[in-house]
């Protein structure tokens, strides 16, 4: 991964974007500190994060779980 200064990127953005299209990755520096990463676009970045994906669904044989809980609560009163 190459590092480039902000000024250098601003002056030569078109050339750097062409390099990114060919798979190159850059770290953009401002005043010597990294502020951004410039990487090729990927469809993987559009996927939902794992915490937003639907999880597994628990199933039991017979009645559904909520009905079983309600019956248990009524039996204890």
Concatenating the DSSP letter of every residue in 14-59 gives: HHHHHHHHTT--EEEEETTEEEEEE----GGGGSPPGGGS------
- Map out the domains of the chain as residue ranges: 1-40
Q: In 3-state terms, what secondary structure has residue 56?
A: coil
pTM of the model: 0.54
7-64 residue pLDDT tens: 999 999 999 999 999 999 999 999 999 999 999 987 666 677 778 888 877 666 766 7
What is 1-40's CATH topology? YefM-like fold (3.40.1620)
């Amino acid at each position: 991964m190459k590092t480039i200064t902000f000024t250098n990127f601003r002056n030569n953005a078109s050339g750097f974007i062409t390099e990114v299209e060919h798979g190159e990755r850059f770290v953009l520096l401002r005043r010597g500190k990294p502020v951004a990463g410039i990487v090729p676009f990927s469809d993987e970045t559009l996927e939902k994060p794992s915490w937003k994906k639907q999880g597994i669904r628990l199933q039991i044989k017979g009645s559904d779980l909520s009905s079983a809980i309600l019956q248990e609560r009524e039996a204890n009163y």
